[in-house]
Amino acid sequence: MKNTVRILLSFSLAMPIPAVGAEDIGQAMVDAHNKAREKVGVGPVTWSGDLAARAMTWADILADEKGCKLVHSGPGENLYWASAMRWSDGRTDVQKKSPADVVTSWESENTDYDYASNRCSPGKVCGHYTQVVWANSTRIGCGYRICDNKAQVWVCQYDPVGNYVGRKPYRETGAPESGK
């Protein structure tokens, strides 16, 4: 019996981490985005299977071909990366991240965004936040992958794309700022 347990344990530890993606996170991503959008009076987003497939394809490319580095595939996209947890004994584990964790990270950039000037604070990033709350973006699709080194990449794509230079993400009432 001990040998059977040892063999099963060894087998399970050696198994590759499965590719996970869009089908696992859809509603949670929509909910997290809509919670952030509601705070500024912006209407909800809905899930797009087409965008999710594109996001998952890009997450696969980032994991398999780009060394788990964040490289944008184009406009209308938010990326998130989390390192592996590293233990003092040399082990590594995958960090437990949820769609809410990812969107909360993007939303936290709101402290570096000044609505009046429509700018980020000097030296800060706020474009993930403005894309999350971009009033005209009404559909999202997301995917993620665990990389070989147990880091992870998350990709969300938006339609219509947002973050047009010179345009605010929403009116103070939450209505779209412009026709784009």
Specify the 3-state DSSP secondary structure of 158. strand
Q: Which residue has the tokens 């089908």?
A: 23
Which pLDDT score, from 0 to 100, does residue 18 have?
Answer: 41
Average pLDDT for runs of 10 along the chain of length 180? 37 37 79 98 97 97 90 92 87 90 98 97 97 98 94 97 94 62
Kindly list the domain boundaries of the chain, sorted by start residue. 20-159
CA distance 128 to 95: 21
Which pLDDT score, from 0 to 100, does residue 171 have?
Answer: 87
121-166 tens-digit pLDDT: 999 999 999 999 999 999 999 999 999 999 999 999 999 999 999 9
Q: Are 144 and 155 in contact (CB under 8 A)?
A: yes
Pick the CATH number of 20-159 from 3.60.21.10, 3.40.33.10, 3.40.50.1820, 3.30.450.20: 3.40.33.10
Which pLDDT score, from 0 to 100, does residue 65 have?
Answer: 86
pTM: 0.81
